[in-house]
Every structure is written in C-alpha cells, then in structure tokens.
DNA sequence: GTGGTCTAGACCACA
DNA sequence: GTGGTCTAGACCACG
C-alpha cells in the first residue's frame, strides 16, 4: 500500500481518520485487531512513532483498546462512539460555518442544486 | 474586543477572514480605511506582526491597498474580488467535503432541515 | 472467570498478588495445590508465560513451591512470609504515600470518616 | 536545577505531576506562564519531546493552555481542576485499596497510630 | 522566540 | 512478537 497524505493535515490525524473510516465502513469490525504499529508504519511508509500517536489518540477516545503484548483492538462501541463525536462536531461547527458561508457568498438556489438534490434523496 | 481564535487555523488567516467578512457584510466599504495595524493588534490582543501578515495577504490579493504613511484602505473591487475567490474555493473544497460528511455520518432529512429551509429561502 | 487487569501494573504482578491475597484470606491454605498454569491462564485469559512468571516469583520468595510433574503448592510458611513482606512494604511505601496524599488533597476528617471507623474497630 | 526521577514512573508523568504540585502549592498561579518547553527540558536535563508530552497532557485536561507563539499558561480553574481529579481518583482507588491492605495485613491500632493522629488533627 | 510534527533509532517491559 | 518511553535532531508554522 502506498498512501498519499495531504500536506495540510498532520499525518497522525490522517491515520486516525483512516482507521475511523474503516470502522464506519465496516472494513474493521468491533473486536477485530487493528494492524500492529510496526506493520502500519511500514504500509504507510511513516515512522512508527507517528502511528503510535494515532493509536494513542484513538485509545484515549475509546475507539480502540490495547491488550498488552497482543495489540490494539476495535472496541465494542467504536462505531457509535465515532458517529456521536463526528455528529456533535458537525452540528456544532461544520453546519453553522457552512450556512454562514452560503449567506456571506450570497449564493442562490441554482448554486446549491446538487446539495439540495442530495439532501432530498436522504431518508 | 476579546476574540477567541480557533486553534485549528492560523490567527493571521482568521484575521484576514474577519476583514473580508466585514467587507462582505458592508461594515467596511470600498475606499474606507481599515483599522491601523496597531489598533487591531491591540483589539485582538495579538502581536502586530500577525496583523501585518494578514494585511499583507489582503494586499496581495487586492482586497486592501496601502497608502504609505496613511494606512490600509479597502479597494474599489474588494467585494467582487473576495466573492469570486471565496466562491471558487467553496465549490472546489467546502461543498464536496460537506456533502461527503453528510453521507459518512448517514444524516437524514430531519437532521438537515435547517439547512434545507435556508437553501429553499434563497433566490 | 473474567478478570479486569489494571493497566498501571504488570499482569504477572497482579496475578501473584491475587494468589497471595487468596492465601491471606484463607481461600488457599498451606499444602494445597494452586491452580495449574494452564488452568489459571485459561481462567484469566492470559498467556501461560504470564502465569508462569507470576508463579516463578512466588516460588522465589517461598510462597509456593514446585513439585515436579505435579504442580505448585502453597508452602508451610506462606502466610507468615507474605505478611512480613507486605507489612514491610506497607510501612515503607504505602503508608507514607497515603499520608502525603491526604495532606496534598487537603482532605478533612469527614472525608476520612470511613477510614477512621475502620481503624477504630481494629484491635 | 538537577532533578532525580524515579525509575518506576514515566518521566513525562513525573513532570506533569511536578507542575500540578506547583500549582497546588501556589508556586504557579492561574494566568502565569509555565516555563517554555525548551527551558524546562534544559532544567530537567531531559529531551524537549518529553516535556512537550507532559504539557500536552496537562493541556488536554485543562490545567494549562497554549497561547500560540507565546507559551503555556496556567488556566483559571487549574487548581480546582487538579483537586477534583485527584480527589475522585483517591476515593475511587487509593482509599479502597488502602483499606483493603489494612485488613489483609491484619494490622492493629498501634500499627496505624501515626495515621490516626494525622487524621485526628485535620479539620 | 514559541510550540508542533516527524524521523531514526535505542532500549525497555511485557505476553 | 507487542506496545511504551526516551533521545537527538531536523524542519516547520506561527507570533
């Protein structure tokens, strides 16, 4: 695997996002072991400390947990945990900022047709 | 004025955004003088170098212009200028990311009712 | 049995403490056989090397002894032995640290009523 | 300053404890700047990453906060914050374990006279 | 000057 | 084998 990291965001955050997304998508399931720090560092071609940092953060927020000497495992409530955090962040920050931009830029309905269509197609 | 800067974004960028927003809102009009670097630094309780950096960027993109010895002034086409830049940025980055988040978080119509209402009320 | 090990202390130490406590409580008596390494490893869901390490330590300090091919047994003077070691450790380390904490946290008599009652009820 | 760190505990934890204790003692007051990472690293003769780690933890728990480009400062509610955390930990873990040890070791009143005296002298 | 990120690598305890 | 700590040092953005 060769991964391109964005320059605008810390690598360790991109790694933790990557793990979270795999959990949300179902690629990684509760109880499953995530790759060892060394393996993931090799895959991503980064320093193992960088992966460790990502894993430490995910541990702190209860998405993965360490079984000593064995590795890190996805927690039971990882998925829900991630969704809750991300939703809270979305409604607190992303949505207001987005609405603010719409109004500041004086966009019109036509500009946002794609968005409307997508929202309309939701449950 | 006591301002809370976000940790995730450079202060000088937040300051230049602030000026741009004031121009978009009409608080600052073409031809008007923007606050002196010293005053704004005092207001925001930041280093004056930080304000200078924000003003330099705004000068570079033609939103304000320096009249030596007098101060910085909002250019004639500042508003238009900002709108163009921000719109391009919005459609290239903000909108796709926003849509992506909606889908990752599996939000439903009800979650986004506020947004829909606002979009619906546009021209 | 499913046991929660603390993260702050080695598992093998927690296992040896567990055995010692059972001896102090009388659950395990002198001359009795302690669980086989395999059984205990299965009970605790740990690697058998980890149990072996705990047993090795307990053997070294004369709390259990190995009868080759049969298993580990509680020694005659296990209880006495443990008490002496633990008391020495208690007065040298635990008690001073505990007192220090009481003072740092500026606790009052009411906070420590439970403790006082227990101490008062001793011989 | 030459500091002796205990081998049984991570240096970065001992550093964060050290800062907390200075705050509890009043040596460091709310709003004051804590030493720069580099300075403290030099004082303690450790790597600056080690100090950074200590400071990061203290930031995460709201004991200090970063003013970008300037340094770390003790938060308004640092003292209360530390006391609350430590007290919660004390009543949840330290006290029960301590009481448990008293009983397991079958200590008597005489053994704990010092402790009793200290408790008795509290408010 | 400040802190923040990342690397390379040593060393350790633990399972 | 696993992760955890620490070091030394480079490089960066920011104020």
CATH code of the domain covering residue D26:
1.10.10.10
Helix, strand or coil, per DSSP, at residue D71: strand
What is the C-alpha to C-alpha distance for residues C45 and D83, in angstroms, rounded to an integer?
A: 37
pLDDT at B3: 63
Q: Which domain holds residue B100?
A: 79-122
Closest residue (Cα, C1') to F15 = D69
Mean pLDDT across D81-87:
93
Residue D38 · residue D48 · CB < 8 Å? yes
Residue D106, pLDDT > 60, answer yes
Q: What mean pLDDT comes out for the span A98-120?
A: 91
Cβ neighbour number for residue A84 with a 10 Å cutoff = 11
CB B79 within 8 A of CB B24: yes
Quickly state the pLDDT bin for D77 (edges 50, 70, 90).
very high
Average pLDDT over residues B23-43: 92
Q: Which residue has the higher pLDDT, A3 or C94?
A: C94
Residues A16 and A70 grouped into a single domain: yes
SS3 B14: helix
Computed over every residue of chain C, the mean pLDDT equals 90
Residue D90: which of C87, C105, C122 has the nearest Cβ? Answer: C105
Indicate if C32 and C67 belong to the same structural domain.
yes
Looking at the structure, tell me whether residues B57 and B103 fall in a common domain.
no
Do D71 and D15 sit in the same domain of this protein? yes
Same domain as C85, residue C60? no
Task: Output the six-digit token pair for D8.
Answer: 């049984």
Residues of B near D (Cβ–Cβ under 8 Å) read: 7, 11, 47
Min CA distance, C46 vs chain A (Å)?
10
Q: What is the pLDDT of residue B40?
A: 92
Asked whether at least 3 C-beta pairs link C and D within 8 Å, the reply is yes
Q: Is the pLDDT of residue B77 over 80?
A: yes
pLDDT of residue C4: 72
* D1, part of any domain: no
Using the structure, give the distance in angstroms from the CA atom of C14 to the C1' atom of E13, rounded to a whole number: 15
**Inter-chain CB proximity B114 and A105 less than 8 Å:** no
User: Is the pLDDT confidence value at B13 over 60?
Assistant: yes
Q: How far is B89 from chain D (nearest CA, A)?
A: 27
pLDDT of residue D28: 96
Tally Cβ neighbours within 10 Å of residue B14.
18
Distance, CA of D110 to CA of C40 (rounded, Å): 38
Same domain, residue pair C57 and C104: no
What tens digit of pLDDT does each residue of C12-23 get? 999 999 999 999
Enumerate chain B positions whose Cβ falls within 8 A of a Cβ in A.
21, 24-25, 83, 86-87, 90-91, 94-95, 98-99, 101-109, 111-112, 114-116, 118-120, 122-123
* Adjacent-strand bridge partners of B75: none
E-state strands within chain B? 64-67, 71-74
Section A52-79 average pLDDT: 95
In this prediction, residue C8 carries a pLDDT of: 80
Chains that touch D (3 or more CB pairs under 8 A): B, C
Q: Is the pLDDT of residue C2 over 80?
A: no
Taking an 8 Å Cβ-Cβ cutoff, which residues of chain C contact chain A? 7, 11, 47
Q: In this structure, are B69 and B25 located in the same domain?
A: yes
Cut 0.75: pTM above it: yes
Structure confidence at residue C76 as a pLDDT band (50, 70, 90) = very high
Q: Which nucleotide is closest, CA of A13 to its C1'?
A: E5
Res A8: pLDDT:
86
Contact call for C7 and A68, based on CB within 8 A = yes
**What confidence tens digit (pLDDT) does each residue in A12-22 have?**
999 999 999 99
Is the pLDDT at D95 greater than 80, yes or no? yes
Nearest protein residue to nucleotide E2 (CA to C1' distance) is: D69
Average pLDDT over residues C101-119: 91
Please tell me whether any atom of strand F lies within 7 Å of the Cβ of D55. Answer: no
Examine the pLDDT at C68 and tell me if it is beyond 90. no
**Is residue C61 domain-shared with residue C92, that is, in the same domain?**
no
Confidence of residue C3 (pLDDT cuts 50, 70, 90): low
Residue A109 and residue B123: Cβ atoms within 8 Å? yes
Asked if the structure places residue C93 within a domain, the reply is: yes
Asked whether residue D74 falls in the same domain as residue D91, the answer is no
Residue C4 lies in a domain: no
Q: Tell me the three state secondary structure of residue B9.
A: coil
pLDDT, residue D30, reads 96
- Indicate whether B17 belongs to any domain: yes
Q: Looking at the predicted structure, is the pLDDT value of residue C69 above 90? A: no
> Does some domain include residue A57?
yes
Statement: residue D3 has pLDDT above 80:
no
User: Is D10's CB less than 7 Å from nucleic acid strand F?
Assistant: yes
- The answer to whether residues D97 and C97 touch, using CB atoms and an 8 Å cutoff, is no
In this prediction, residues C31-44 reach a mean pLDDT of 92
The reply to whether A37 falls in a domain is yes
CA of D39 to C1' of E2 (A): 11
- Residue B26 shares a structural domain with residue B69: yes
The number of distinct structural domains making up chain C is 2
DSSP string for residues in chain A: ---PPPTTS-HHHHHHHHHHHHHHHTSS-TTPBPPPHHHHHHHHTS-HHHHHHHHHHHHHTTSEEEETTTEEEE-TTHHHHHHHHHHHHIIIIIHHHHHHHHHHTT--GGGGHHHHHHHHT--
Top-confidence range, A34-43, B62-71, D104-113: A34-43
pLDDT at site B93: 87
Residues D57 and D105 in one domain: no
Nearest-neighbour CA in chain A from C48: distance (Å): 13
A67 and A116 share a domain? no
**Residue D45 maps to a domain:** yes
Helical spans, DSSP H, in chain C: 11-25, 37-44, 48-60, 78-89, 95-104, 113-120
**Mean pLDDT, chain A, as a whole number?**
92
Give residue-wise pLDDT tens across range D30-42. Answer: 999 999 999 999 9
Instruction: Please compute the mean of the pLDDT values over residues B23-31 and round it to a whole number.
Output: 92
**Residue A103 within a domain:** yes
Residue A1 has pLDDT above 60, yes or no: no
- Which residues lie across from D64 on neighbouring strands? D74
């Amino acid at each position: 695997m060769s991964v391109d990291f964005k320059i605008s965001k810390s690598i360790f955050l991109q790694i933790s996002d990557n793990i979270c997304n795999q959990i949300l998508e179902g690629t990684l399931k509760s109880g499953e072991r995530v790759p060892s720090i060394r393996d993931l560092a090799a895959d991503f071609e980064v320093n193992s400390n960088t992966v460790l940092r990502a894993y430490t953060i995910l541990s702190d927020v209860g998405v993965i947990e360490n079984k000593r000497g064995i590795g890190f495992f996805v927690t039971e409530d990882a998925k829900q945990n991630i969704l809750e955090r991300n939703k809270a962040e979305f409604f607190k920050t992303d949505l207001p900022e987005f609405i603010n931009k719409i109004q500041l830029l004086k966009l019109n309905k036509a500009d946002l047709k794609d968005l409307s269509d997508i929202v309309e197609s939701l449950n």
